[in-house]
A = this chain, B = another copy of it.
Amino acid sequence: MRKVLQKYGRRGFKMTPQRIAILEYLEGSDNHPSAEDIFRDVKKRYPTVSFATVYNTIEALKKRKEIVEITIDPERKHYEPNINPHHHIVCIICKKIGDVFADYSTALRLPAEVEQEFIATGNHVHFFGICKNCRS
């Protein structure tokens, strides 16, 4: 809520109750929800919300660079409100996604052969591991 709710008083992006609920859910915890996660949560307060609204809002927020789409789960897309570039770690058991704030850029040099083919403009590290909960 905070950030985005302030930013868009009303202009260009209408702050409807559903959208507020979506933003609050997205910014309310350190989760990385899928569209369905968002849908389920918003439905608690607005039992008539539709997937169309959720996806519409996601699309509008992506376009405005207020949220980021994460491609880390082969089955579905996930979203997060944290715009600062960072990395992720995924529990291989429960699939929980954690944030990793660190800048590895200086270490992540491309091998020479690859540099002949590509100019790198960014990077994202996907760690996998086991979370505290799943260690038992």
Contacts and interface: CB of A to CB of B under 8 A. Distances in A.
A52 interface: no
How many copies of the chain does the oligomer comprise?
A: 2
Interface string A72-94: 11100100000000000101100
Interface residues of A, number: 39
Given A73-B71, A92-B121, A104-B107, A114 B126 contact: no
Contact of A120 (B101, B109, B114, B127): B127
A5 interface: no
B123 A128 contact: yes
Interface of A: 69, 71-74, 77, 89, 91-92, 98-102, 104, 107-111, 114, 116-132, 135
